[in-house]
Amino acid sequence: MKKLLFAISSLKNSGGSERSLIYRVNYLVQNFNYDITIVTTDKDDVYSFYKIDSKVKVVNIPVKINKPSIWNSIGSLIYKSYKRESKIKEFIKENKFDICSSVGSVNFLYQSKKNDSFIKVKESRFNYKRFFPDKRFNIGILLWRLLRLINSTLVLKKMDYVITLTEEDAKFWRKFLNKVYVMPNFINFKHISLSNLNSNNVIAVGRLEREKDFTSLIKAFAIVSNKYNNWKLEIYGEGSLRNALQDLIVSLQLTDCVFLKGAIGDIFSKYEESSIYVHTSLYEGFGNSILEAMAHALPIVAFKSVGGVKLLVNDSHNGFSVPNRNIGGLAGKIIELIENPEMRRKMGHNSREIASNFSEDKIMLQWHKFYSKI
């Protein structure tokens, strides 16, 4: 029985990284012979937003920082990274794992050596373009992202394997690294009911953070609402921009049709109650919520973005791709789908067909083969 360790900062969030990891380890222990432990590093992280199989062990190894405010930036990050890795490396040594994976932003293998007794895997859950500034950048952001890119490259060079979500990301990292593999996210179709696409609901799902650009979505829906005030937009997710987004909704007089619904466990039922899915991320590792919406047979309207959007959204086939921050174009495509129920049904059907390529059994067989081989 192979012993696998996965390190992630937290499981309490409702994001795609947390969801995909938990669904994967649950499948592995339920269908194959693995001994799996998840290590979390955030302080007091004892809660998981998603249900974890009882066979999976969860261990919290927090790193507490008591430093003056001047350290709450670069110095704090360096200190925390060093302490976190030291603790996790000690835990690995004591428990003799076969394969250790670092998930998302957690880099716990800075001090790794080529002759380590365990296999080191880095799972990159983000699109590489997050390292490069968009039109709103300043010199501080540019330098910070450059440092992060250099740091990530140095860490990844120490890995035995690097996993990306899309071929686009794999091509970028193969310029610097060997043994880069693509493992997309998956969807379990067993408990999914199709939307009948008859409701007047538009849905969006994601963290309320800058990179999701819900500001553009709300502004676009103001245009939609001027023409179709019987339609509503529901945004599911939580984040630091909740108050700012709510203020925008109020200022645009959209309180009767745009709603911030928070993060919920049963998001699938909300897809079933909707007729259009809109995705406005400026960059995206894969786009779990797009795949989920497609599995429920929803047509998609999305910013062209990168990564998963290019992989999942075939323009004019299962939805529409719109240039980033093109608010008028975004509103126009939503209106086009509102006005054409037959187009919604045809594109929704195509969405479902594309989503079938990412079924749980297909992708998890790839993961099992990978873990068995290395």
Q: What is the pLDDT of residues 215-260, one digit of tens each?
A: 999 999 999 999 999 999 999 999 999 999 999 999 999 999 999 9
The CATH number assigned to the domain with range 201-357 reads: 3.40.50.2000
Range list of β-strands (E), 99-198: 99-103, 119-123, 161-164, 180-182
Angle at 114 between CA 109 and CA 115, to 5 degrees: 110
Contact 133, 147 (CB under 8 A): no
Cα(7)–Cα(123) distance, integer angstroms: 10
pLDDT in the model for residue 313: 96
pLDDT in the model for residue 104: 73
pLDDT in the model for residue 298: 99
pLDDT in the model for residue 88: 84
pLDDT in the model for residue 105: 66
pLDDT in the model for residue 83: 73
pLDDT in the model for residue 289: 94
> Taking the chain, what is the end-to-end CA distance rounded to the nearest angstrom?
13
pLDDT in the model for residue 173: 85
User: pLDDT below 70 — which residues of the chain?
Assistant: 44-46, 63-81, 105-115, 128-142, 144-149, 151-152, 306
> What are the start and end residues of each CATH 3.40.50.2000 domain in the chain?
2-186+359-373, 201-357
Sign of CA dihedral 83, 88, 91, 93: negative
The CATH number assigned to the domain with range 2-186+359-373 reads: 3.40.50.2000
pLDDT in the model for residue 47: 78
